[in-house]
Structures are given as C-alpha cells and as structure tokens.
Amino acid sequence: MAYVRWHLQVDERTACVCIIDAGGTIQMANKNLLKMFGYKKAELEGKNISLLMPQPFSGRHNSYLRNYVTTGKAKILDTQRQASGHGHGPGTDLEIPVVALHKARYVFPVSIYVTKVSGGGADALFMGSIAPAAEDPGTVRAWVTSGGLALCVDRRFTDWLGRGQADCEGRPFASLADEPRRLEDLLLRASQATAEELHGGKVALQGVELVHKYAGTVRVDITIDLGGTDDQRLFVASLRRHGHADDYLMALDKKGHVTYATSALATLLGTTPESMARQEVGRFMAQPFAQLHSKWFKVGRDGKEHGMGL
C-alpha cells in the first residue's frame, strides 16, 4: 500500500529516485538524481547513501537503518520530510529541515519521501524520492552544533562570504564575525532558548559584520532556529544581507588561476563555479584580450608583482 501511495505522489519522469538496501548501499540512482547531486552513475551505485548527506546526518544514518532492521521501527518511513520544517504522513509531527550534500561539497534543502518496496529485515529494499525545496534567494544558511562549531553551509553562503564547506566545517561559527563575541552570545542564547522561542524567530541579532574571505565585511541579520535530528539538537543560522552587495566576484592566485567565483558571475559566463576553479582566467576573456592576458597580468615567476592590467 505504501508503494502505491508513493506512485501516486511521485512523477518518476521528473523525480530524483534511488533504491538502497538495508545496509544503506545504493542499488540504483536515476539520471535526475545524478544530475541533482553532480555525480556520474558509477560514482554512486555501490556507495553508501550517507555520501549524499553532510555531517552529522551522514554519521547517524546507518544506525537508523540498523535500528529498523533490528526493531522494525522506522523514523521517516512512509512520511515526507521537507526543508520547510513540516512533515506529512502517518503520525508525523513538526519535522526538521532536511539538507543534502552536493558532490561539490555544498548543501542544499530538499524534501524526501522514503518507502519500503520489498523484503524485510536485512533483505529489505527502500526507494526514496528527493526533490529540491524552494529557497529564499535573500537568505543563506549555516548549520551549527550546540557547541558553536560550523557543520555545513549552503551554496549562497559561499557566494556571499567566499567561504565554502572546507573553510567552515569544524570552525567556530563565531570566528566568521568581525566581533566574534556577539555571535558567541547569540549562540549561548540559542542553547538556553526553548523550541518555541527558536521556531518563533526570537533568537536573533541585527547588524552583524561577517568577514568575507576575499573582500570586505558583509553586514547581515542572523536568526537562529532548530535543526539537526530528532535526538540531537543543532542550530540553523539564517542570514539576510543589508543593502546591495557585489554578486559578480572572482579571486585569482598569483598565476592568474581562479580560486573563487560567485554563482552569478559563473552563470553570466555560461558555466559553474566548480568548472571555473583552477582555470586560467584568460579562458574567460574574448580575443585579443585572452592572448594578451599573460603579459598584462605581469606577476613574474620570481613572485614579484609588477602590476596588473585587469
């Protein structure tokens, strides 16, 4: 019956679908899912489904599967979890935000629906449908432990602050601020707040200056809400910018290779930030400028800067 309900809810032509076994191993991933996560078929099939989740969710998922095999009790089976924070399905209550991890190591919000399609216990097979959730283009998010360490950030966080997953994971979230103590105090308030206060947007801070990796500070308002799993409290920090910001930014190393590019700039150039990474910037210039670029850049092999023509 659950499988029939799944068919009624999901359009397999457009849905992102995968099948896993009771150990979490991916048996099948359709083309839509591969495209959403940036993988090729051979890179996913035979791998554990936790590959598509950031920590701490990836570290806990296999234990949820083992618990189901042992007890028959499921946490999300035949329910839908959405990034908006609400679950739909038999016996569901207020649910947590769900985030997925792209191959390029940024997270994005999704809604998921999981059902068992065959077998039982250790022989069970599960089918999941994943859909991208609607995002507010004026908001970026970071997931933070109750101890104040950054776990993961979404793609627009990198666009706004020049810092990706590798720059933030395991780092004190407060260290991203020009005045770290203000963020430390905010997270302390969050750790002492009730769920109702957090869901109601009561734990917030206005006018925080965050330090961009390559440019000046970015002024934001921050609101803290609950995130994570049902048995582990985490925080979701939602950031909104003040005023206009430069969305068309690029950073280069001394040899003129791209080390950072915003999504807006990459889209303007008909590519992606991942494709631009480590490319010589002349590749994105029209002739004759691309041909002349190496002379204009004029940073000698001796490391001495002689001027730029950019």
The domain spanning residue 186 has which CATH number? 3.30.450.20
Q: What is the pLDDT of residue 148?
A: 95
Does residue 222 sit in the same domain as residue 173? yes
pTM value is 0.74
Confidence of residue 94 (pLDDT cuts 50, 70, 90): very low
Does residue 118 sit in the same domain as residue 153? no
Confidence of residue 178 (pLDDT cuts 50, 70, 90): very high
Q: Is residue 231 part of a domain?
A: yes
Of 132, 165, 196, the position where a domain reaches its end is 132
Give the range of the structural domain holding residue 111, as residue numbers without chain letter: 2-132
Q: Mean pLDDT lowest for which of 1-5, 47-51, 105-109, 292-296? A: 1-5
Does residue 80 sit in the same domain as residue 156? no
Q: Is residue 101 part of a domain?
A: yes
Overall average pLDDT of the 135-160 stretch: 90
Q: What is the pLDDT of residue 310?
A: 41
Evaluate if residue 9 carries a pLDDT over 90: no
Does residue 30 sit in the same domain as residue 72? yes
Does residue 65 sit in the same domain as residue 99? yes
Q: Is residue 305 part of a domain?
A: no
Of 217, 241, 265, the position where a domain reaches its end is 241
- Helical H runs in 19-88? 31-37, 41-44, 57-71
Q: What is the pLDDT of residue 132?
A: 83
For every residue of 233-299, DSSP letters joined together read: EEEEEEEEE-S------EEE-TTSBEEEE-HHHHHHTTS-HHHHTT-BGGGGS-TTHHHHHHHHH-B
Q: How many domains does the chain have?
A: 3
